[in-house]
Structure 1
Amino acid sequence: MDGLSERQYAARVGLSRGAIQKAKDAGRLVLHADGSIDAEASDKRRAETTDPSKSRAAPKAPAAPKAKLKPVPEAAVSAVSDTLREQGMPAPAPSGGMTYLQAKTANETMKAQERRIRLQKLKGELVDKARAETLIFRLAREERDAWVTWPARVAALMASELAAALGEGITVEAAVMQKVLEAHVRAQLDSLADIRSGLG
């Protein structure tokens, strides 16, 4: 075989085998004596005899879709910078962007921190902040309520002990003692109310 088969020539010029057979039947291809296609001569004849307005352009390769890169939010960049600084590593400038290695390092550091926190929670070393604040508030309220009712419980006993200690003829009224104690207890509770827990 001196030339190309229909299938080989079709692959070479980017047409279907049926289109090559039509061109062969129409006499637009140059054939060798054995019936194979003379590629060079056939290309030349096809170019001369084909109407350019009716020819199909060579199929274009589909354009690869352009990957749309989403801009990284400033909050994410600053979080990465903070994480790198906490670990004693150089952080990128706020407007200078960051390298892939810096972002990867910060990501791995944050993963390690999350795992450490999860492990500490499982071991019972960490408690939920809201739960701790609720518990502290409840305990403080119970303590305050106990102190508010304390003067009424002990005023009569303290009045009699004080009268006995001061000697005969001196009496201390329980109601007066209760009022004095309540005033001092409330003043103390008011001063303690200004103390805030260190959980904030």
Structure 2
Amino acid sequence: MSDSIAEVGATSYAQAKTANEVIKVQKSTVQLEQLKSSVVSRDKVLIHVHKIASKQRATWMPWVEECAQSIAEKFSVDSEKVKSILHTEVAAHLKELGDVHFTID
């Protein structure tokens, strides 16, 4: 009877080991699929970041034109001088924002 228990134990161990290997393969397959869907082209990311930055700049620069006249009237100063100062300051700030460097691993 101890031989049959040993055989059952060996069979159960072999089945458990096989099941474990199957689970490992399934887990690896799932992880690979997750990686495939999360990997993005570096070039696409850089193009997208550039588009976002361009849109931000495109919205800020007209703001200078719109606000310069209003500010000049409130302080009774020349609107062209205000526009020039605002343009310089906003452009410098946008340049600072654009100088951010990041890595894509």
Q: TM-score, normalization: structure 1?
A: 0.34
Q: What's the counterpart of residue 132 of structure 1? A: 45
Root-mean-square deviation (CA), in Å? 2.6
Q: What's the counterpart of residue 188 of structure 1? A: 93
Deviations 1:67-104 (A, max 9, x none): xxxxxxxxxxxxxxxxxxxxxxxxxxxxxxxxxxxxxx
Q: How many residues align?
A: 79
Higher helix share: 2
Where does structure 2 lack aligned partners over 5 or more consecutive residues?
A: 1-23
Greater gyration radius: 1
Q: Is the 8 A contact 1:155 1:181 kept in 2?
A: yes
Whether 1:119 aligns to 2:34 is yes
**Corresponding residue SS for 2:68:** helix
**Corresponding residue SS for 2:93:** helix
Deviations 1:40-78 (A, max 9, x none): xxxxxxxxxxxxxxxxxxxxxxxxxxxxxxxxxxxxxxx
Of the three residues 81, 94, 102, the one matched with 1:176 is 81
Where does structure 1 lack aligned partners over 5 or more consecutive residues?
A: 1-107, 164-170
Q: Is the 8 A contact 2:72 2:82 kept in 1?
A: yes
Offset, 1:154:
1.1
Q: What's the counterpart of residue 160 of structure 1? A: 73
Q: Is the 8 A contact 1:129 1:199 kept in 2?
A: no
Q: TM-score, normalization: structure 2?
A: 0.59
CA distance in 1, matches of 2:48, 2:32: 21
Higher RCO (CA 8 Å, separation ≥ 6 residues): 2
Of the three residues 55, 67, 80, the one matched with 1:142 is 55
**Corresponding residue SS for 1:195:** coil
* Seq. identity, %: 19
